[in-house]
Amino acid sequence: MRIRSILKKLLVSPELEEQVNNIRKPVGVYGYDPWGYNIDTCMICLSLFKNIYEKYFRVETHGLENVPAQGRVLVIANHSGQLPIDGVLIGYAIATRKDGPRAGRAMAERFFPTVPFIGNLINQVGGVIGDPVNCIKMLENEELVIVFPEGVRGSGKLFKKRYQLQRFGNGFMHIAMTCRTPIIPVGVVGCEETMPSLADIKPLAKLLGIPYVPVTTPIPLPAKVSLHFGKPMMFEGDIDNEESVTEKVRQVKTEIRRLIDIGLSNRKGVFYG
């Protein structure tokens, strides 16, 4: 607690503090919500990440205004880059935008809570394990939830499969329809090149109990990242059968594919531009 106060004083600028304080997020008297989100840790991490976002990955955003300033919303994006950098970048973009900043809640892989320090840190900056109950409760709380329906199939894929969307799970669509929640599709371009994986050491991953062990660079490369936020997509009505849900998921996937293609055609180079 004391370390956090010192770090906050040292790192958090008054502008950022004001910006984060504008986020309408109910927390308890110690600044936490039931999932462990903490407003001070969030400010510190945003401060630490500022240069990485602006100078290292030089993130460009398009269509950020499509994200509603309030109310429940699901942000659905393509997943890549071995580490969940894409989730952090999307969350940073939404939390620091001038009009209507919001605290994005990212659905994290299920093994994170078992890792000392990392599990708590992810919770404090807004991440929670990817459990449908968490997602539904957060949406009922009128929160913004970031979901990667490809899961580890997307983040752990090899470089040769870059920008090939993997199978999308149907879970997010069930939740969107049940909770009457708009979907904001996002096409992420650049994260594929941050940690290009040449191979996956599956036996080692199995031994360590983690989804994959990539043969890749020791640190993420400074690829230029662009985030393309699409228009809200609303899927209403009762769920007739799983095939109809799959069809709706396909529509979201097609839109994300379109946003990625826009990003790829607009970019001048992987590391510059």
- Identity of the residue, 113 or 222, whose beta carbon is nearer to other proteins in the bound complex: 113
- Our CB check for other proteins shows the closer of 108 and 191 to be 108
Span from 52-60, 110-118, 233-241, 251-259 in contact with other proteins (CB under 8 A): 110-118
Q: Which helix (H) or strand (E) holds 61?
A: strand 60-62
Q: Contact, 76 vs 145, CB < 8 A?
A: no
Question: For other proteins, which stretch binds (CB under 8 A), given 57-65, 97-105, 111-119, 243-251?
Answer: 111-119
Which of 19, 96, 120, 170 forms a contact with other proteins (CB under 8 A)? 120
What phi, psi does 161 have (nearest 5°)?
-100, 15
Determine the interface stretch with other proteins among 12-20, 109-117, 168-176, 196-204 (rule: CB under 8 A). 109-117
User: What single DSSP character describes residue 55?
Assistant: I
Taking the least distance from each CB to other proteins, the nearer of 1 and 6 is 1
- Integer CA distances (angstroms), 229 to 116, 189, 219, in order: 34, 11, 27
Indicate the residue among 95 and 129 with the shorter CB distance to other proteins: 129
- DSSP string of 208-271, one letter each residue: HTSS--EE--SS------EEEE---B---S----HHHHHHHHHHHHHHHHHHHHHHHHH-S-SS
Q: Indicate the residue among 97 and 137 with the shorter CB distance to other proteins.
A: 137
State how far the Cα of 83 lies from the Cα of 91, in Å rounded to an integer.
Answer: 14
Read off the tokens for 84.
Answer: 């969940």
Q: Give the residue, chosen from 70, 114, 164, 178, that forms a contact with other proteins under the rule CB under 8 A.
A: 114
Q: How far is the CB of 245 from other proteins (least distance, A)?
A: 22
**Total residues at interface with other proteins (CB under 8 A):** 26
Q: Which residues contact 219 (CB under 8 A, 6 or more apart)?
A: none
Give yes or no for residue 14 binding other proteins (CB under 8 A). no
Nearest partner of 221 among 159, 268, 151, 265, judged by Cα: 159
Decide whether 129 or 188 has the Cβ nearer to other proteins.
129
Q: Which of 129, 139, 176, 259 binds other proteins (CB under 8 A)?
A: 129
Q: Which stretch binds other proteins (CB under 8 A): 130-138, 151-159, 191-199, 220-228?
A: 130-138
Scan residues 22-61 and list those touching other proteins (CB under 8 A).
28-30, 32-36
Degrees, nearest 5: CA angle 197-199-201: 120
Nearer to other proteins, 35 or 159 (CB): 35
DSSP per-residue codes, 97-140: -SSS---EEEEE-TTGGGSTTHHHHHHHTT-EE--HHHHHHHHH
Which stretches of the chain bind other proteins, using CB under 8 A?
A: 1, 28-30, 32-36, 110, 113-120, 123, 128-129, 131-134, 137
